[in-house]
Amino acid sequence: MRKTLAIVLVLLLFSPSYALSLRRKKKKKAQKTTGVIAEQKGGVSQEDLALLRADFNQLRERLKALEEALKECQGTNSEAMRKIEALQMRVAALEQKIDELKLAIKAQGRAQTSSSGEIPREELYRKGFNAFIEGRYEEAITYLREYAQKYPQGKASASAMFWCGESYFRMNNYAAAASWYEKVVSLFPQSIKAPTALYRLAQCYKKMGNARKAKKYIRELLQKYPGSEEASLAKRGEY
């Protein structure tokens, strides 16, 4: 009986693995010849998921056969039990991997849908901000204005509007810059950009020769944000 069990174990444990290994080698060889390897693209395909499911089903069948074979024997072999436990762990690991691949495929589908249409929200802001940092102000305005218009209540909307104003300010277009700073002050008074926007408004109107309006924004800055760094500069007349 033990000899029969040992033969069953060997056949169950190694024959499918060898066949599975051959199938994987063939898959890799086919991928190399066509030049389409999913891992090189950083993607996950339905074929990967199907292969993993096949592994899972095969292991589950082997585990079931082993358990049934052991039930027929009066005495259980400790070595066989260890092999069963190892198989159980592999089945659990494959099950988890299948769930992860399902999520990855869903995420990949969402990314492809997004990229085929319009630029994702975060990417839109990042492109605009990077363009501003690199001194490409017109390009920065294009991206940041689009973000502000499409997502007026987005988490980066106040910043997008502020950097639009800063881009115009660097281009010496003070009237356009002021319009964006005013949006920040009126729509996002609690934003960390609000004190700076008020300070910039005073600077814009001073440069445009409107001292009265410049002083108006300085008073507003001192009243609403007295503890800000911009208020300290304004008190010293530095604007």
Q: In terms of C-beta density within 10 A (0-12 exposed, 13-18 middle, 19 or more buried), how is residue 96 classed?
A: exposed
Q: Based on the domain organization, do 164 and 101 belong to the same domain?
A: no
pTM: 0.52
Q: Based on the domain organization, do 127 and 214 belong to the same domain?
A: yes
User: Does residue 136 carry a pLDDT above 90?
Assistant: yes
Closest-CA residue to 164 (of 144, 138, 139): 144
Instruction: Extract the tokens encoding 63.
Output: 């585990």
- Better pLDDT: 79 or 178: 178
Please state, as a whole number, how many other Cβ atoms lie within 10 Å of the Cβ of residue 137: 19
Domain harbouring 223, CATH code:
1.25.40.10
Q: Based on the domain organization, do 153 and 223 belong to the same domain?
A: yes
What is the spatial distance between Cα 200 and Cα 221, in angstroms, rounded to a whole number? Answer: 10
Determine contact, residues 165/199, Cβ cutoff 8 Å: no
Please state, as a whole number, how many other Cβ atoms lie within 10 Å of the Cβ of residue 228: 18
Q: Based on the domain organization, do 9 and 81 belong to the same domain?
A: yes
pLDDT at 201: 97
pLDDT at 83: 65
pLDDT at 148: 94
Q: Based on the domain organization, do 221 and 184 belong to the same domain?
A: yes
Q: Based on the domain organization, do 141 and 74 belong to the same domain?
A: no
8 Cβ partners below 8 Å, 6+ apart? 65, 66, 69
pLDDT at 174: 97
Q: Based on the domain organization, do 87 and 193 belong to the same domain?
A: no
Q: Based on the domain organization, do 74 and 151 belong to the same domain?
A: no
Which of 116, 150, 179 is the last residue in one of the domains? Answer: 116
Give the whole-number percent of the chain exceeding pLDDT 70: 52
Q: Based on the domain organization, do 126 and 111 belong to the same domain?
A: no
User: Does residue 1 carry a pLDDT above 60?
Assistant: no
| Domain encompassing residue 108 | 2-116
User: Does residue 11 carry a pLDDT above 50?
Assistant: no
Mean pLDDT: which of 86-90, 105-109, 113-117, 126-130 is highest? 126-130
Which of 63, 81, 116 is the last residue in one of the domains? Answer: 116
Instruction: Extract the tokens encoding 154.
Output: 């987005």
User: Does residue 64 carry a pLDDT above 60?
Assistant: yes
Q: Based on the domain organization, do 135 and 205 belong to the same domain?
A: yes
- Better pLDDT: 57 or 230: 230
Q: Based on the domain organization, do 206 and 132 belong to the same domain?
A: yes
Q: Based on the domain organization, do 98 and 139 belong to the same domain?
A: no
Task: Tell the residue number behind the tokens 């008190």, with chain if given.
Answer: 235
State the total domains in the chain: 2
Which of 116, 131, 160 is the last residue in one of the domains? Answer: 116
